[in-house]
Amino acid sequence: MKLRTGTLLAPLAVLVLTALPLSGCSGASAPSASASATLTFSLADVAKHNTKDDCWAAVDGGVYDLTSWISLHPGGPDKIVPLCGTDATTAFRNQHDSQSKPNDQLAQFRVGDLA
């Protein structure tokens, strides 16, 4: 009896598990499509975000919103604030070059590409 229930339930479980991602697909398609579109900003766009409360910077062709990172930076907020609204490539590379932690951290703030 147990065996028969198992053999009946197994294909049912497969059906349910296959149907779940499919049913979720229609709702998820719109956000994933927009997430794949890369936004592009000019340096003039970046320059508009030049305060500690709204701080964007460009590094190596990427544009980053550093606002939330200013008070958390282990090297101090005073190192980040002057970068707001600028191309900070030289400052960032001079200090952190290819160190993995700063580069990983930076990647999390990416909002788009520099035009």
110 Cβ contact list (under 8 Å, min separation 6): 62, 63, 64
What is the 3 state secondary structure string of 14-54? HHHHHHHHHHHHHHHHHHHHHHHCCCEECHHHHHCCEECCE
Residue closer to ligand HEM (CB basis): 29 or 71: 71
Structure tokens at 73: 């930076």
Q: Which is nearer to ligand HEM, 6 or 74 (CB)?
A: 74
- Residue 101 within binding range of ligand HEM, rule CB under 6 A: yes
Sole binder of ligand HEM in the list 6, 27, 31, 74 (CB under 6 A): 74
Residue 81 interacts with ligand HEM (CB under 6 A): yes or no: no
Residues that bind ligand HEM (CB under 6 A): 57, 66, 69, 73-75, 79-80, 83, 88, 91-92, 95-96, 101-102, 105-106
